[in-house]
Amino acid sequence: MGNLCSLFKPITNTNNQVSSTTKKRSSHAPPSTRWSRKDMNLDETVTIRQQAIAAAALYRQHQQQQQFDRSSSMRYPNGSKRNANLLPRSSSSRARSLTDPLLQPHQLVNQGIKVDDLETNHFILVHGGGLGAWCWYKTIALLEESGYKVSAIDLTGSGVHSFETNNITSLSQYVKPLTDFLENLPEGEKVILVGHDFGGACISYAMELYPLKISKAVFIAAAMMTSGQSTLDIVSQQAGSDDLMQQAQVFLYANGNDHPPTSFELEKSLLRDLLFNLCPSKDVALASVSMRPTPFAPVLEKLSLSDMKYGSVRRFYIETLEDNAIPITLQENMIKANPPEKVFHLKGADHSPFFSKPQALHKLLVEISKIR
């Protein structure tokens, strides 16, 4: 997302439109061959689904071939600093990793609490800007094999959702697939909401609307704002001409250069360094052909969050220590401004731990589900 404030003024373009949308890149971004789209057609939808299914199948085949790297730990229980005697840091000597070694899900966590005995065993996974439900394929596989129920949501204009991204004008419109899902939950059923990146703003919006249907909320390298803040307010804290996110942003002007941008996307040449710097190549390739623009209006929208509703939901934050998109300093600032119940961190995790550290992320999600 990055610093968007200084980039609104469009560059004069003699062609006015490119594929029905005028694009404006940051002056720092290198030129590259670009692609654009309106609604996704059926062939694209099928292709993305096939890619995710194939990747998930390959992932499962390797589950018995490697050893698990215990690279996660928990800190700041109940808002205070970690007690070293109770919650030791990971003893892993590997500071960085391109893969997350695998083993059977039942070996990952303490089995003292049965999944069926939890307040809820239903996870709702909400993707970040530009991504889709497809990005959670490893997390879905691991959670389901551990006995959990999992629903991954494609927000409006994301993933295989057919709506045109440039026509999204509000956060409520963008998160409608999520709010519709919560609205239709059976009476008395609760879920654990998990939001990544811009998905943090989306689950915050849902927490204010449906606090009684949400058992816990988990923010993974996500925007976690206070009432009256927008996502833009948060990410602008990392402003700087050398900011990689700012260099990567390309704004789209579906309504013309004399109107505000309608969405933005990221330079494909910078995707790996920005979002996937520690991810396997096959996952970077999947993302590069599956990502779509992020609608701009929802990023500008300030949230109204109350202590009675949003504040009543138990919140947990998972920090990603090798994150180039939302740096750890920015994550820490959000945590200090709006402290969650507990904070966890992932060593060797970039901005996309569902790709770079899927086993470690899975372990933390299961641990959070079992916190009473």
**C-alpha to C-alpha distances, 157 to 39, 183, 210, nearest whole angstrom:** 8, 20, 23
Report DSSP state, residue 46: H
C-alpha span between 150 and 141 (Å, rounded): 9
- Closest to 207 in 3D by CA, of 170, 175, 168, 174: 175
The one catalytic residue among 161, 345, 351, 362: 351
CB count in 10 Å sphere of residue 34: 13
Distance in angstroms (rounded) separating the CA atoms of residues 275 and 351: 5
Distance CA 237, CA 37 (A): 31
323 noted as active-site residue: yes
350 annotated active-site:
no
Q: Greatest CA span in the chain, whole angstroms? A: 66
Quote the CA–CA distance of 1 and 11 in Å, as a whole number.
20
Catalytic residue among 69, 154, 197, 283: 197
Distance of CA 172 to the CA centre of its chain: 18
Instruction: Extract the runs of DSSP E, i.e. beta strands, from the chain.
Output: 22-25, 72-75, 122-126, 149-153, 191-196, 214-220, 249-253, 263-266, 294-295, 314-320, 342-346
Query: DSSP H helical segments within the chain, as ranges?
Result: 42-61, 137-145, 171-174, 176-183, 199-209, 231-235, 244-248, 271-275, 281-290, 297-300, 328-337, 353-356, 358-369
Of the residues 100, 154, 323, 350, only one is catalytic, namely: 323
Active site residue 127: no
* Active site residues per annotation: 197, 323, 351
